Chain A
Amino acid sequence: MENNQIKAKEINFDQLSDADEAYFKNFKISLADYPLILMFGFLFAIVFLQFFTRYILNDSIAWTEEAARYLLILVTFAGAIRCQITGSHITLEFMDKYYGRFKIWFIIFSLSLTLIFISLIIWSALVLIERTSFQQMVSLPFPKYYLHAIVVALLSINWLVLIYLIYNKIRNLTRISNADILANIIQEH
């Protein structure tokens, strides 16, 4: 590089976002994502409504804050199902390289423990629902267990997803083992 040479070039804003465009083009939105997007859109609308009524109309609607808080909880548990499927829950990923060929076993073990945890938390939630069934939400005209019941429903979907993921991993594992055996037989002959 020559000293103090002026290197200014015009920035092409469109060209610079090539990687972004490719990302959006290749992103597959599945049917199961639509309820998620809808929930998130609803959350956006409620928080915006709260903001709008407080600043523009100078009189915030009381139920929006409570509704937004509860909806965030629901978006979290619904989003957690997607995280489970895409494997995007935060884990200590750096450990992966130490597992070597046992990585798949660790994944199955991790999924199984998560399954046990989800089962226990569903049980814990059901006990809470039973004990607090009389409680009402503060500003919304519903009993509070409605929120807990929807969370239980979302956790149950997560539970089913986990069963499917474990089944799939084990099936792949046996497929790989069968392929290995076949490869060995071919090699021997």
Chain B
Amino acid sequence: MALIILFSSLFILMLMRIPIAFSLALSSLSYILYEGLPPVLLFHNMINGMDSFPLLSIPFFILAGGLMNSAGITARIFGFARSIVGWMPGGLGHVNIGASIVFAGMSGAAVADAGGLGAIEIKAMREAGYDDDFSIGITAASSTIGPIIPPSLPLVIFGVMSSVSIGQLFVAGIIPGLLMAASLSVMVWWIAKKRNYPIDMAFRLNNIAVHAKTSFLPLMTPVIIVGGIISGLFTPTEAAICASAYAMFLGLVVYRTLAIRKLAVISIDTIEVTASIMMIVGAASVFAWILTANQVAVHFAEFVFSFTDNKYIVLLLIMALVLVVGLFMETIAAISILVPVLLPIAAQFDINLVHLGVIVILNLMLGLLTPPVGMVLFVLSRVSGVSFERCVKATMPFLVPLIVVLMLLVFFPSLTLFLPELLYGK
């Protein structure tokens, strides 16, 4: 009965426009009061959930993304990607994907990719004569590579909530991220051939050299972050602070595109996003504590087990659940609610948590591209001036290659686990 109160109050509160963080905390509180537990548990668990060193990477990865977008760094990356893959049919489509791969190595959020790099990509594609549907579709789809290739905010949250090494999760995202890029590239190639799209720039080594020179310093950012984390030199928090300090150095000293006022605005934006995420993390830890204390997830796992004992069918069921939740919920909120439910199922069916983390996040990325809560589409609609409905329609075809990659990752865990096992051992 108490658990029915917990879940039903959560959904009713969320539907009534109460912020997700407060809905989680209020429904947890209603359970605590119903069970006659001390209300002090609410504040105690909330503060404990926020009190974690890896969570400090959240504000600094957000800050780094904001600084890169505002310091002209993103535009330089776009120029570099253009010199390398612009020669392919549908050139700017491939450039879009290539730039997203590089940006993914600097930022951990799809929305940062769509809002910063996305604005540049759409503008460049429009000027070159590409239709809006193609430009928006590929920009939206490629922005989801951001949280798969390290660094990644959703993977940090998943790691903290499931006590899995964030370093391993980050490394595990590299191959899936590149697979997403490859599948989107195939799609662009196919569309370009069908519609006779032009190439953008002839392949010339000296051209690449020129762009590599102008974007050399920005290109060092993913090298520092990804290299630092893979080599075990940096923890995610250290990589995040290093990336922020480096981006600040580039913007303030090298390119002189940042001013104190800009820095203040970026800081305020960062604080706002951080606070909204961290409040969810804190409230979700109270919610997760209740679920764990009641062994809800264990009972749920037993329930699933009564239907099937096939690991892959269970994984498909998990993917269906995650997809539905991801359609209606923002990524961080979805992770916070799903992780405590999924962990015991993973334990029972011997599902590797690093594998689970990557496929859950990739699945939630699909939710960013679909209504009703398609955050990336909201951002792209704003930066392109195209209606949300048209953005939805434009992005639909690009979901196909992403779903194919998701299925590949579900059925071939070694694609995800190869690199972490190589670097960290089994």
Contacts and interface: CB of A to CB of B under 8 A. Distances in A.
Whether chains A and B associate is yes
Given A113-B13, A120-B39, A90 B196 contact: no
B128 A82 contact: no
A125 B43 contact: yes
A184 interface: no
A167 interface: no
Interface string A23-63: 11001010001001100110110011001001100000000
Contacts of B46: 121
B198 A16 contact: no
Contacts of A69: 51-53, 56
B160 interface: no
Size category of the binding interface on chain A: 35 or more
Most chain B CB neighbours (cut-off 10 Å) among A6, A92, A93: A92
B271 A40 contact: yes
A19 B119 contact: yes
Contacts of A110: 16-19
B265 A95 contact: no
A92 B26 contact: no
Nearest to A27: B265
A75 B271 contact: yes
Size category of the binding interface on chain B: 35 or more
A128 interface: yes
A78 B272 CA distance: 9
B120 interface: yes
Given A76-B274, A93-B373, A7 B198 contact: yes
A2 interface: yes
A91 B17 contact: yes
Interface in B173-210: 196-202
Contact of A128 (B44, B78, B276): B44
Contacts of B76: 13
Q: B interface, by DSSP: helix, strand, loop or mixed?
A: helix
Interface stretch (B240-248, B338-346, B358-366, B418-426): B240-248
A29 B268 CA distance: 9
B139 to A, nearest CB: 14
Nearest to A34: B264
Contact of B53 (A4, A68, A95): A68
A92 B276 contact: no
A69 B48 CA distance: 11
Nearest to A29: B264
B129 interface: yes
B51 A76 contact: no
B296 interface: no
Given A36-B271, A44-B241, 4 more contacts: A47-B237, A75-B59, A79-B276, A82-B272
25 contacts: A1-B129, A4-B199, A6-B202, A7-B198, A8-B82, A8-B86, A8-B200, A8-B202, A20-B116, A29-B264, A37-B267, A44-B60, A44-B244, A68-B53, A72-B278, A75-B59, A82-B268, A82-B272, A90-B20, A90-B332, A94-B373, A99-B17, A110-B16, A114-B18, A127-B40
Interface of B: 13-22, 25-26, 29, 38-44, 46-47, 50-53, 55-56, 59-60, 63, 69-70, 72, 75-76, 78-79, 82, 86, 89, 91-92, 116, 119-120, 123-124, 127-130, 196-202, 237-238, 241-242, 244-245, 257, 261-262, 264-265, 267-268, 270-272, 274-280, 282, 328-330, 332-333, 371-373, 383
Interface of A: 1-9, 11, 13-14, 16-17, 19-20, 23-24, 27, 29, 33, 36-37, 40-41, 43-44, 47-48, 51, 54-55, 65, 68-70, 72-73, 75-80, 82-83, 86, 88-96, 99, 106-107, 109-110, 113-114, 117, 120-121, 123-125, 127-128, 131, 147-148, 151
